[in-house]
Amino acid sequence: HSCINDPSSDPFSNASPISPPSSNSQRSISVFSRTGIIVLLSLMVILGVFAPWSGMSQSMFSISRKVSSLSKWRDYSMAEAASFVTKNGTIIVCAVSQPYLPFLNNWLISITRQKHQEKVLVIAEDYATLHKVNEKWPDHAVLGFFNFTSRRPRHLLQILELGYSVMYNDVDMVWFGDPFCYLEGNHDVYFSDDMAATLGYCKMDILCCLAAFIIYFFHASSLWLISCVIFLRPTDGAKLVMKKWTEELQAQPWSKAKKAND
């Protein structure tokens, strides 16, 4: 007996026969044909016209954002900045310009180690510093242009008038400890006495000690105050000191012959 297979009963069989290749297959367009050259030229024209506009629009958008950012920080007021950084009514302030940014970096690192970095307000004395600090650390820099010889007392008086206690530091120093631990009592103003520090360091050296005492004896006052570290409370007494300091500096303008220390 022979069996005849019914193709329709085989689920794996192909019901439709394989069709022969079509004689009308699509031919590819050659790059070097007239049509190909026209297509390439059209693409080049489109890219040449629209690509520069695309780049320009991105550039304009970037410039627009930068200008907006610059405008924001230029309009940032001392009152806004102080309210942002103050902690427990206290602000730590420095005044710095672009050439001293490496010093600022070291100073901030030392303050961060003492957990006081959030209180810091950088008074930028040029636009480059203003934008550099706020770019890396938003809201922690404010623009401050004053006469060179009275900038510190006027910055500090501004903050006192806002009702905040303020610690001022030069940025060519670093913190090895927490200076707030040394603010004993409830005084209006705290200054550093450079001579006291000198005498303290010279205790073990008789010649150094003798020289320090000679300088100390002939100095005009019993204190050798320096302004690299100042702490002020917002009292009438502290404000008066800053006003008098400003007046003294304005009466003794800085010059190469007479370099007033602000």
The three-state (H, E, C) secondary structure of 147-183, written as one string: CHHHHHHHHHHHHHHCCCEEEEECCCCCCCCCHHHHC
Q: For residue 255, is it left (φ>0), alpha (ψ between -120 and 50) or beta?
A: beta
Angle in degrees, CA 180, 181, 184, rounded to 5: 95
Describe the chain by its helix, strand, coil percentages, rounded to 5: 50, 15, 35
- Nearest one of 179, 29, 46 to 114, comparing CA atoms: 179
Q: How confident is the model at residue 116, as a pLDDT? A: 96
Q: Where are the alpha helices (DSSP H) in the chain?
A: 34-74, 78-85, 101-113, 127-136, 151-161, 194-201, 206-218, 236-251
Question: Is 241 or 14 the better-scoring residue by pLDDT?
Answer: 241
**Edge-to-edge strands of the sheet including 225-232?**
141-143, 120-124, 90-96, 165-169, 225-232, 189-193
Mean pLDDT of 9-15: 41
Question: Is 242 or 211 the better-scoring residue by pLDDT?
Answer: 242
For the question of whether the overall pTM of this predicted structure is more than 0.75, the answer is no
Domains in the chain: boundaries? 74-251
Segment 113-164, tens digit of pLDDT: 999 999 999 999 999 999 999 989 988 999 886 555 568 898 999 999 999 9
Which of 10-14, 34-38, 183-187 has the lowest average pLDDT? 10-14
Distance between CA atoms of residues 216 and 12, nearest Å: 111
Segment 73-125, tens digit of pLDDT: 788 899 999 999 999 999 999 999 999 999 999 999 999 999 999 999 999 99
State the CB neighbour count (10 A cutoff) for residue 137: 13
Contact criterion met (CB below 8 Å) for 181 and 116:
no
Query: By percentage, how much of the chain surpasses pLDDT 70?
Result: 60
Per DSSP, the three-state class of 232 is strand
Which token pair is 246? 């400003």
Cα torsion 82, 85, 91, 97: sign: negative
**In this structure, what are the phi and psi dihedrals at residue 169, rounded to the nearest 5 degrees?**
-130, 140
pLDDT at 29 over 50: yes
Amino acid, res. 3: C
Q: How confident is the model at residue 147, as a pLDDT? A: 52
Distance between CA atoms of residues 193 and 227, nearest Å: 9
Mean pLDDT of 169-192: 92
Question: Is 37 or 257 the better-scoring residue by pLDDT?
Answer: 37
Question: Is 152 or 261 the better-scoring residue by pLDDT?
Answer: 152
Which of 5-9, 147-151, 215-219, 234-238 has the lowest average pLDDT? 5-9
Residue 46: alpha-carbon gap to chain centroid:
43
Side-chain half-sphere of 208: how many Cα atoms within 13 Å? 10
Name the CATH code of domain 74-251 (choices 1.25.40, 1.20.58, 3.30.1490, 3.90.550): 3.90.550
